[in-house]
Amino acid sequence: MILAATFSYTDTSKNDVFTESTAPANALNVSQMQGAFGQVHGEVTFDASYPTGGYALSPAKFGLGTVSVVLFDSPLGYVVDYNSSTDKIQVYVMPAAAAAGPLVEETATTDLHTVTAHFVAFGMV
């Protein structure tokens, strides 16, 4: 499954915001690099059909060679998580009844096109 969500990135050193299609060749690697370890800030807007198991993702999507951790804010009603064992972004919701238990993964094909999550990704460049 190809990630159908839309990413945009923030270069905090220059206060620039750009999308994948407008990013300079090295733009995803410039945010506060320390040696070969870097961090990338941005946001992801999901699409109209959540894929079963989450959005497949490669480290290159963040401009990194490897991803150590990705931290997301929690858009209203959702919890967004990067699953490093599957390289997928997963979206979780509260079950319908509070007594039903812990968060559950969003149902496949759910329309999330109005959901945007900010992130910071850390990894090796």
- Domain map (residue ranges) of the chain: 6-124
Per-residue pLDDT tens over the stretch 8-65: 666 555 544 444 444 444 444 445 455 577 788 888 889 999 999 999 888 877 777 8
Per-residue pLDDT tens over the stretch 67-96: 889 999 988 889 999 998 998 999 999 877
pTM for this one?
0.74
**Rounded CA separation 70/76 (Å):** 19
Secondary structure (H, E, C), the chain: CCCCCEEEEEECCCCEEEECCCCCCCHHHCCCCECCEEEEEEEEECCCCCCCCCEECCHHHHCCCEEEEEEECCCCCCEEEEECCCCEEEEEECCCCHHHCCCEECCCCCCCCCCEEEEEEEEEC
Q: Is the pLDDT of residue 124 over 60?
A: yes
CATH numeric code, 6-124 = 2.60.40
Q: Provide the pLDDT for residue 25.
A: 41
Q: Provide the pLDDT for residue 34.
A: 53
